[in-house]
Amino acid sequence: MPALSRPLDLDAIQAFVLVADLGSFTRAAKTMDTSQAAISLKLKRLEERLGYRLLERTPRVVRLSPRGDAFIGAARQLLLAHEQALAGAADAPERRLKLGISDHVAGPNLPVLLGRLAAYDPLLVIEVRIGASRDVLAWFERGEVDAAIGRREGERRDGQLLARERLGWFAAPGWQHREGQPLRLATLAAPCGIRAIATGLLDAAGVAWTEVFVGGGVMAVGAAVSAGLAVAALAHRVAPPGAVEVGERLGLPALPASQVVLYTRLSDRRSQETLRAVSSAFVNGAY
């Protein structure tokens, strides 16, 4: 290993940690508000400076090399020390980001995502509230959260579009519809927007249905699907592992795409940067 006579570039360290956590040069570039080429150059110079490869790259996967895995802990500590120095003291007070997330958007791997973000910005406490998209937007409008990520509701066209997600009719692999019986559904309680869309389309297509499970959250609905109790209208990203789409087989109406949008009133650079990391992870399924 070469002697490190000069300090390491903190921007390059931050780029390395973001690429490792988000699994993508593109997502890291969006978070740092720069180009993918600039991120690649930073990482190349950092690797040259250290004398070893930090990341292993393939056309589809970016992952830590063995040396990168050993280095990332020190990299996080260096970023934390820098944040504390900027704040003026080693015991700098924590900052808070109040974030509202729609249950249909959050998905089962939300804890993993938040853990990565906490490691990215150790002085930021992310206070998360989960609810229906309408509730999340209401929290934002009342100033109860600093930012909100949810489904676009009704005729609203404001907010930053993060992604268009496919919806599908999901059931357990061995689930069978009983001929002549109403379609058994697992849903969230009204006024869930996806429930309204799904049942409205079934009514318009003349498909009889009945709710046999009403859950308080998407994970509960997913559990009902996995248990073989019913069919549920879900975004592909939040469908339970092993569930299969049955819409075409059962002749069910096609579901429209769901638009995931971000609302924010954050203005400070560091919080905006962290929010970009949140948004990028949701959009690209980095978790």
- Asked if pLDDT for residue 3 goes beyond 60, the answer is no
Q: Which pLDDT score, from 0 to 100, does residue 286 have?
A: 39
Which token pair is 233? Answer: 């209208």
Annotated domain spans of the chain = 10-90, 95-163+259-271, 167-255
d(CA 232, CA 222): 8
Identical fold at 10-90 and 95-163+259-271? Answer: no
Indicate the CATH number for domain 95-163+259-271: 3.40.190.10
Of residues 128 and 267, which shows the higher confidence score? 128
Of residues 29 and 268, which shows the higher confidence score? 29
3-state secondary structure of 130: strand
pLDDT band at 181 (very low <50, low <70, confident <90, very high): very high
Spatial CA neighbour of 94 closest among 130, 124, 129: 124
Fold held by 10-90: Arc Repressor Mutant, subunit A (1.10.10)
**Domain 167-255 class, CATH top level:** alpha beta
Q: Which pLDDT score, from 0 to 100, does residue 1 have?
A: 47
Spatial CA neighbour of 15 closest among 43, 35, 52: 43
Q: Please, are residues 229 and 187 in contact by the beta-carbon 8 Å criterion?
A: no
Q: Which pLDDT score, from 0 to 100, does residue 184 have?
A: 96
Average pLDDT over every residue of 135-148? 92
d(CA 280, CA 220): 26
- Asked if pLDDT for residue 264 goes beyond 80, the answer is yes
For 41-94, the pLDDT digits (tens) are 999 999 998 999 999 887 777 889 999 989 988 888 888 777 767 665 555 556
Percent of the chain whose predicted confidence (pLDDT) is above 90: 33
- Asked if pLDDT for residue 21 goes beyond 50, the answer is yes
**What DSSP string describes 202-264?**
HHHTT--EEEEEEESSHHHHHHHHHTTS-BEEEEGGGSPTT-EE-HHHHTPPPPPPEEEEEEE
